Amino acid sequence: MKVIGDKLVLATHNKGKLREIAELVAPFGIEVIGAEEAGLPEPEETGTTFIANAELKARQAADLSGHPALADDSGLCVDALGGDPGIRSARWAEDADGNRDFTRAMEKVETALQAKGDDTPRDAHFTCALSLAWPDGRIETFEGKVHGTLTWPPRGDKGFGYDPIFVPHDHDISFAEMDPAKKHAMSHRADAFRQLLDWLEAQR
């Protein structure tokens, strides 16, 4: 693909995301390198929006690696919790030592929802900002979403993160019970990726 070239850094340290993005990129025959493989540090996510954090991760990776870099900032936004955990979705899973445990993070979400009362709506969405940065300073960012409801207890062992409690609209199984190809066809990440592809197509 001409605008990208033949090498793309996937600027994420999250193995679940890395697997999903590599699968989305696979049909285009571009060689991908993960952030760890490229020896990139994990930047502090100081932005206050998904877009700002995706852009800072992509910019740092492109500058340090000298290759175009694609970064993803994403999270679960729960309506009744004012959009939390939102951009702090990874941090909600961390203990005092910074180790992540998503069983605990899902329990935190459920506890916060139950504290609001039995009739509290369980609507939620995932957001994903994908940012593509080039070493020459160009940057393009796209934001995708998928809406659904939260189920309890967690169901399924596929996917990653909060997938076991998220049931997308018009479905009755969680993202973690779904065949990965099916999640890829409808996820927030797939939505953002489709917009990125449309933009790339228009550049040719």
Ligand X SMILES: O=c1[nH]c(=O)c2ncn([C@@H]3O[C@H](COP(=O)(O)OP(=O)(O)OP(=O)(O)O)[C@@H](O)[C@H]3O)c2[nH]1
Q: Is 198 helix (H, G, I), strand (E, B) or coil?
A: helix
Residue 74: CB minimum distance to ligand X, A: 4
Report the C-alpha dihedral over residues 92, 98, 103, 107, rounded to 10 degrees.
Answer: -40
- Whether residue 44 is annotated as binding a ligand: the answer is yes
187 binds ligand X (CB under 6 A): yes
Distance CA 137, CA 174 (A): 39
Per the CB < 8 A criterion, the answer to whether 53 and 73 are in contact is yes
Distance CA 46, CA 192 (A): 22
Nearer to ligand X, 91 or 116 (CB): 91
Residue 147: CB minimum distance to Mg ion, A: 23
Nearer to Mg ion, 61 or 90 (CB): 90
Contact footprint for Mg ion (CB under 5 A): 90
Which of positions 3-62 make contact with ligand X (CB under 6 A)? Answer: 12-14, 17, 42, 45
- Whether residue 84 is annotated as binding a ligand: the answer is no
Per the CB < 8 A criterion, the answer to whether 61 and 38 are in contact is yes
Active site residues: 73
Q: Under the rule (CB under 6 A), what is the footprint of ligand X?
A: 12-14, 17, 42, 45, 72-76, 89-90, 93, 126, 159-163, 187, 189
